[in-house]
Amino acid sequence: MSRLFGTDGIRGVANEEPLTPELAYRLGRELAATLRAERGKDRPRLVIGRDTRRSGPLLESAIVTGLMSAGADCFSVGVLPTPAIAFCTKALEADGGIVLSASHNPFEDNGIKLFSAEGSKFPDAWEDEIERGLAAPDGAPRARRDAIGRLVTHDRAEADYIDFLVRCFPLDLGGMTVALDCAHGATYRVAPRVFRRLGATVVAIGTKPTGLNINAGFGALHPEALQVKVKRAGATIGFAFDGDGDRLISIDGSGAMRDGDYALAVIGRHLGAKQRLRNNVVVTTIMANLGLDEALGAVGIKTVKTQVGDRYVSEEMSRLGANVGGEQSGHLLFLDHAPTGDGILSALALLSVVLEAGEPLETLAACMRKFPQVLVNVPVRSKPPLDAVPGLMERVADLESEMRGVGRILLRYSGTEPLARVMIEGPDADRIRAMADEIADLVRSRLGVGGDGEGAGA
């Protein structure tokens, strides 16, 4: 069996190998067995929730059956954002949490993500133990009689999560119009309720999930609809979340899109000036725009970069004692408040700076000058080491020499999809676009699926 767990749990097309109900059932049994062994619990407690995909109940029922058959109690919270499930796991003093979601992927995909008892990433060693169990005959405990696990519907989960968010940022948003795009996903109820409770007038789109429309033309990956909504409604600010609610893209009052780099620049500089930025450092990834380094460095804030993935950002933040970090994609981490990325909490953090500074986001965002950046995604049939692809790294080296240190070229594979990502950043937008296309063509000719297919974005 090839490895199931990637950088963000198990992900694939729902009800196709490997993400089948049969796997979910076995995973539930092996998860219960692992928690019994590692935490010394005869009756582990798990919190389980999902986003709005049609396949969610299918996989949930299978994994719950596996857990209960191995003697674990399951607290079902229904449709809630991924960070809400992490919050409930810790609040209920459970032994672990389970999220059924494929985040920003289309509705036909789904995934299984595990949280530790602290609401943070499930330990790698425990994932390895589960993998070994799945590769062997089923040896997990078989509970009998009153040892069979219970299924509990935790009705208070949504209200408790809203209370938590409001406690983190008890803002007065009276007189402010906030536009929201919930991607027809897991934030569709929670996000409008949070902002209305804080006094804002809320206009919302992407709040009518059908099970088939999550992320389809809405949300953090498609902020165009929210840009239109902000301008038409005369909103102060707009916030777009992805399907599972752990990502934030903001729209300022002028209608301009502000990604995670802008949020880190604005929040980092503000907290640094107020002496509330721990160790005067912001942690981000290698995908961050060079303009973020410039904006933070101008006020003496250090930027530390990790490989792509919020789990790596979180690990580095913990190592450095940092309290602010995140990714250009909108996964932002505020470890003073929560152990995992949270789109709604990130929006409140940004609004708190807007209110404290007394300036709109469009003014605050002027602190950062974005370097032109091009990202090309190339579908690939395999993922050999990039330096083993004939002629690829030699051509990259030639183009890097041409840039003379002003800009950069980054090649990597997606951790969750069969894609090679080509990212180039530099002062000349036309030239970097041509460079990116050239490298993408080279990758496509060597590794591409049928020799064509491309997606591009910034």
In contact, 272 and 299? CB cutoff 8 Å? yes
Q: How far apart are CA 292 and CA 356, in angstroms?
A: 22
How wide is the angle at C-alpha 7 spanned by C-alphas 136 and 222, nearest 5°? 130
Q: Is the dihedral of CA 184, 186, 188, 194 positive or negative?
A: negative
Report residue 296 as tokens.
């933070």
How far is the CA of 351 from the CAs of 119, 191, 226, in angstroms?
25, 14, 17
Full DSSP string of 308-339: SSHHHHHHHHHHHT-SEEE-TTS-EEETTT-S
Instruction: With CA atoms as reference, report the closest residue to 222 among 169, 183, 186.
Output: 183
Residues with Cβ within 8 Å of 16's Cβ and at least 6 positions away in sequence, in order, are none
CA 228 distance to own-chain centroid: 24
Instruction: Please pick, among 55, 103, 250, 329, the residue that the annotation labels catalytic.
Output: 103
**DSSP symbol at 438:** H
CA 254 distance to own-chain centroid: 26
Sequence-ordered alpha helix ranges (H) in 143-218:
157-168, 190-197
Q: Distance between terminal CA atoms of the chain?
A: 36
Q: How far apart are CA 397 and CA 394, in angstroms?
A: 5
Residue type, 303: T
Q: Is 103 one of the catalytic residues?
A: yes
How wide is the angle at C-alpha 141 spanned by C-alphas 135 and 144, nearest 5°? 145
Q: How far apart are CA 284 and CA 447, in angstroms?
A: 29
Instruction: With CA atoms as reference, report the closest residue to 340 among 84, 125, 151.
Output: 84
Q: How far apart are CA 442 and CA 297, in angstroms?
A: 35
- Catalytically active residues are 103
